[in-house]
Chain A
Amino acid sequence: MSVFNAIDEERDIDVNEFTPSLEPQATWCPGCGDFGVLKALKQAMPEVGRTPDETLLVTGIGCSGKLSSYFQSYGFHSIHGRSLPVARAAKLANPDLEVIAAGGDGDGYGIGGNHFMHTARENHDMTYIVFDNEIFGLTKGQTSPTSPKGHKSKTQPRGNAKSPIRPLSLSLTSGATYVARTAAVNPNQAKEILAEAMEHDGFAHVDFLTQCPTWNKDAKQYVPYIDVQDSDDYDFDVHDRREAMEAMHDAEDALYEGKVLTGRFYVNDERPSYQQEKQSTGDMPETPLAERYFDDDYEWERSYDFLDRHK
């Protein structure tokens, strides 16, 4: 008998299902933006219609990486920067799973930058949430790839000589098909965007602005933000690559000038996901690979049949 019977299409899903019943003490600092991500994610789940048991959340290391501890679903708390490769393969092995990867800006744009670029390029069908607090939180406040130029920390005492990374444009140029930015201080938008990202058929990247009141005094929660979709000043077509790129450039320039632009920046519904591409070249089975190990009727082929060519 199959071990996978859970997929339960028509069921009302309650937000509380995603809260562990024996909840571990969340070890985030009071006022940390990470609480906002957790809340938005829980609230997005019923909209997507996936239960905790159908969901796999893979996290990296950092304060952000602890998300999987406080969110009830299948979880994999992996290693620093490597949530994406773990998540990618789980999705390939069992495409029925709702796969979400999450980590910090250090985790995702620093040590895991290579994986970020390639996962976006391949357009894996998954959601990637980056907790962007412009700082290394868990290791106590070092400069991160999104820290502003001139930022001072123990590792950059004379001020950061590097310009920050541009995550939205990087994501778009790498191949992501859904790119958005939201913020912990805007829970409604955050929930909506996360739900949309999960429903998107391809690599959805959400740069999630969070505050780190402990290490980053320039925390963005005090800054007014503008939803680019609600504002008449930002009239661009999210489906148009070039227009999206321009909007991203504006958003990325403005961020360090104190203006926070959030919302959807790019949506491409046309490009097939990696899984679809792989299936179309015959490189991936139609039914989930993982299920096959429990299918009693499946005929396992043997290497014996290849031996002929060596005789």
Chain B
Amino acid sequence: MTDDELIWRIAGGSGDGIDSTSQNFAKALMRAGLHVFTHRHYPSRIRGGHTYVEIRAADHEVKSRGDNYNFLLALGDSFARNPQEEAYYGNEEIKPLSENLDELREGGVIIYDSGLLDTDDIPDFDERVEENNWHVFDLDLRGLAKEHGREVMRNTAGVGATCAIIDLDLEIVEELMSEAMPEKILEPNLEILRESYEDVKENYDTDVGVTVPESEHDEEQILISGSHGIAYGAIDEGCRFISGYPMTPWTDVFTIMTQHLPDLGGISEQVEDEIAAASLAIGASHAGAKAMSGSSGGGFALMSEPLGLAEITETPIVLVESMRAGPSTGMPTKPEQGDLEHVLYTSQGDSNRVVFAPGDARESYIQTRKAFELAYNYQIPSIILYDQKLSGGHETVTESTFDREPNPDIGEVVTEEDIEQGERLAGRFKRYRYDGEDGVSPRSLPGQKGGNFLASGNEHNEAGHISEDPDNRVTQMDRRMEKLDAIRDELDAMDESHQTVYGDEDADYAILNFGSTKGAVEEAVDMLNEDGHSVKAMNVSDMVPFPKNEVNSFLEGVDEALVVEMNATAQFRRHIQAATGKHGDKLFSLLKYDGNPFEPTDVVDGFEARLDGSAEPAHNTRIESATGD
């Protein structure tokens, strides 16, 4: 096993404070100069039920949760002690230990809370420990916590013990706890932390080969999730109105925005359903605010009709679609990329929208800003498509990613003077008259003198009046569709493409993927190239308008390309084929849809299985060839 990284898993019952403990610990590792990536696993249950959070930390950039892990802190499940629950779920108490052993690397470390867990309940425990050369620390964390404060503080005891074993400066953790905890509970927690640390240092052999390297960041880092990236991108871009209805995992963005908007003079509305949510965003934007809404699969389905309304009335809005496994309610807490086609095509008529799928937290910020900019400059809805994995997982991002420039520009709006002098005012204001180059006709805002017009979900003429005139229909349709060409040109002209190419440009073999699979694929590319293969990857973010030329030239010269995506029907592969009109003979799919994200080795195995049959595809992944051209 490598000793240059720590993958620390804290496991317990949901509701036991695993989240906050792990967030603080992840931050401590970041402050120690390391790169950090977190992965949150949780069942669809609020209290009780086994859950864990994994933190991967290294002195080099970490892009995925990695393959397996090397440090388990098993806390037991304090909510599983009622006999009725036990009848339903079995002995949950021991699950934080028993359920996590399969993925623990050889030579790894186990701390378990002997105050709550009994290894006698786990068959073969001792044999497995010996076989895998695991280092086991049985510590009465609960007892220690109880002695100095309350039982729930056993998380802190576990962190103290961890620091002793991996040799992490306790001061960093102490400082973080002082920032995060209210006075009343801080003191007992600090006592527990120190005592646990010292106990392990004094009474155990901590030379077990799992440590974190010493490191320092060149630049200041922050630890955020993709949802933070989206929310902060929206705020910097001047978004001050959000409307939504809760649905996992979209709720993350909704709550982050709601937490900040009132302080920024903005408005957040929790409304009766998702149809209302999207309609409110349209209403606010029509009146002149920068507005967003969003949901996850089922809720986004309800937004289908308002989405079309925004398209035809040319009302700028940004919608977020945070994918989880479907169909229907599917698996609420599990990631999938199965809503791609839903987002591309939902709503009646020819779709006319921008869709971005950021690949990490940094891109979530950057692309959300761009999505707003395009929505308002081109009067078109933009959608940010991402998934449960990117939504909740935290990663280190350089602070300089965050632009200092707020952008309250809402695009072309005429002034009252323009209206008075302009020829657009013959009768009603000609809101939809085309005299620009990119399909955009300047709008007037309700409240402006002389600018009154009708925005209609029916096909309409220049003044907004309902019209079924064939020539008008073609003119209006073409004008709206023209915007996408202009947007593509604008995206192509940007200094930095939204697509990330990774690996050697002249490689023989290519991997294509989108969204949150980015990190795992890039790590797989490194592993494959180290093994002597010649592989490059492209993570595509621009789903609509599609970067056809970029993808074509990326695929030029490669023998074959593996399209990696988390769904069962190869939606992204079909999208590439449809958008480029070719490559059917070159593309193979590697699909995974079991509710777990791709790990780097899944991709490596898939690649080798496809290329030379030297490996089996990893468990629950499938290889499939493309059909047609």
Q: A residues touching B (Cβ–Cβ < 8 Å)? A: 1, 3-8, 20-22, 24, 52-54, 56, 58, 61, 66, 68-69, 72-79, 82, 84-94, 96-97, 114-115, 117-118, 278, 282-285, 289-293, 298, 300-304, 306-307, 310-311
Binds A, one of B134-142, B451-459, B530-538, B601-609: B451-459
Q: List 8 A-B contacts (CB under 8 A).
A: A4-B448, A58-B283, A69-B465, A72-B452, A75-B455, A86-B280, A289-B284, A310-B27
**In whole angstroms, how far apart are the Cα atoms of A291 and B448 in the complex?**
11
Residues of chain A within 8 A (CB-CB) of B597 are: none
Contact of A301 among B264, B291, B455 (CB under 8 A): B264
Given contacts A88-B283, A282-B262, A77 and B454 within 8 Å (CB-CB):
yes
Interface size band for B = 35 or more
Q: Chain B residue with minimal CB distance to A304? A: B402
Q: Please tell me if B220 contacts chain A, counting CB pairs below 8 Å.
A: yes
**In whole angstroms, how far apart are the Cα atoms of A144 and B201 in the complex?**
77
Instruction: Give 11 A-B pairs besides A82-B275, A114-B273, A293-B289 with Cβ atoms closer than 8 angstroms.
Output: A69-B465, A75-B455, A75-B464, A78-B279, A79-B457, A90-B284, A93-B241, A289-B267, A302-B235, A304-B236, A306-B232
Interface residues in B270-307 by Cβ distance below 8 A to A read: 271-273, 275-277, 279-291, 305-306
Q: Chain A residue with minimal CB distance to B394? A: A310
**In whole angstroms, how far apart are the Cα atoms of A21 and B446 in the complex?**
18
Contact between B224 and A72, CB atoms less than 8 A apart:
no
Contact between A93 and B448, CB atoms less than 8 A apart:
no
Contact between A93 and B276, CB atoms less than 8 A apart:
no
Contact of B456 among A77, A301, A311 (CB under 8 A): A77
Binds A, one of B38-46, B110-118, B410-418: B410-418
Q: B residues touching A (Cβ–Cβ < 8 Å)? A: 27, 31, 220-224, 228, 231-233, 235-236, 238, 240-241, 243, 260, 262, 264-269, 271-273, 275-277, 279-291, 305-306, 309, 313, 399, 402, 404-406, 408-410, 413-416, 426-428, 445-458, 463-466
**In whole angstroms, how far apart are the Cα atoms of A87 and B243 in the complex?**
13
Q: Chain B residue with minimal CB distance to A310? A: B222
Contact between B447 and A93, CB atoms less than 8 A apart:
no
Residues of chain B within 8 A (CB-CB) of A54 are: 447
**In whole angstroms, how far apart are the Cα atoms of A285 and B240 in the complex?**
11
Given contacts A283-B268, A300-B408, A302-B236, A86 and B453 within 8 Å (CB-CB):
no
Residues of chain A within 8 A (CB-CB) of B284 are: 89-90, 92-93, 289
Given contacts A72-B428, A77-B454, A85-B271, A90 and B232 within 8 Å (CB-CB):
no
Least CB distance from B283 to A in Å reads 3
Residues of chain A within 8 A (CB-CB) of B220 are: 311
Contact between A3 and B266, CB atoms less than 8 A apart:
no
Contact of A6 among B243, B447, B456 (CB under 8 A): B447
Residues of chain A within 8 A (CB-CB) of B445 are: 3-4, 94, 290
Given contacts A1-B415, A6-B416, A93-B289, A21 and B427 within 8 Å (CB-CB):
yes
Residues of chain A within 8 A (CB-CB) of B287 are: 56, 89-91, 93-94, 97, 290
Contact between A311 and B306, CB atoms less than 8 A apart:
no
Contact between B453 and A53, CB atoms less than 8 A apart:
no
**In whole angstroms, how far apart are the Cα atoms of A66 and B275 in the complex?**
21
Q: Chain A residue with minimal CB distance to B277? A: A85
| Nearest 4 CB-CB pairings of A with B | A89-B283, A290-B288, A303-B232, A85-B279
Contact between A289 and B416, CB atoms less than 8 A apart:
no
Contact between B446 and A114, CB atoms less than 8 A apart:
no
**In whole angstroms, how far apart are the Cα atoms of A86 and B223 in the complex?**
37
Given contacts A72-B428, A289-B267, A52 and B415 within 8 Å (CB-CB):
no
Least CB distance from A215 to B in Å reads 21
Contact between B402 and A307, CB atoms less than 8 A apart:
yes
Contact between A3 and B281, CB atoms less than 8 A apart:
no
Residues of chain B within 8 A (CB-CB) of A96 are: 447
Contact between A93 and B236, CB atoms less than 8 A apart:
no
**In whole angstroms, how far apart are the Cα atoms of A24 and B454 in the complex?**
12
Q: Chain B residue with minimal CB distance to A57? A: B454
Contact between A284 and B415, CB atoms less than 8 A apart:
no
Q: Chain A residue with minimal CB distance to B261? A: A283
Least CB distance from B153 to A in Å reads 23
Contact of B458 among A5, A77, A285 (CB under 8 A): A77
Contact between B279 and A293, CB atoms less than 8 A apart:
no
Given contacts A69-B465, A114-B272, A293-B238, A89 and B446 within 8 Å (CB-CB):
no
**In whole angstroms, how far apart are the Cα atoms of A86 and B282 in the complex?**
6
Contact between B451 and A53, CB atoms less than 8 A apart:
yes
Residues of chain B within 8 A (CB-CB) of A87 are: 283
Q: Chain A residue with minimal CB distance to B410? A: A293
Q: Chain A residue with minimal CB distance to B305? A: A79
Residues of chain B within 8 A (CB-CB) of A22 are: 426-428, 463
Contact of B281 among A89, A278, A283, A311 (CB under 8 A): A89
Least CB distance from B282 to A in Å reads 6
Contact between B276 and A53, CB atoms less than 8 A apart:
no
Least CB distance from A209 to B in Å reads 26
Residue of A68, A91, A301 most packed against chain B (CB within 10 A): A301
Contact between A74 and B452, CB atoms less than 8 A apart:
yes
Contact between A82 and B448, CB atoms less than 8 A apart:
no
Least CB distance from B482 to A in Å reads 24
Residue of B31, B266, B287, B451 most packed against chain A (CB within 10 A): B287
Contact between B465 and A284, CB atoms less than 8 A apart:
no
Residues of chain B within 8 A (CB-CB) of A291 are: 288
Contact between B452 and A73, CB atoms less than 8 A apart:
yes
**In whole angstroms, how far apart are the Cα atoms of A22 and B452 in the complex?**
13
Contact between A3 and B448, CB atoms less than 8 A apart:
yes
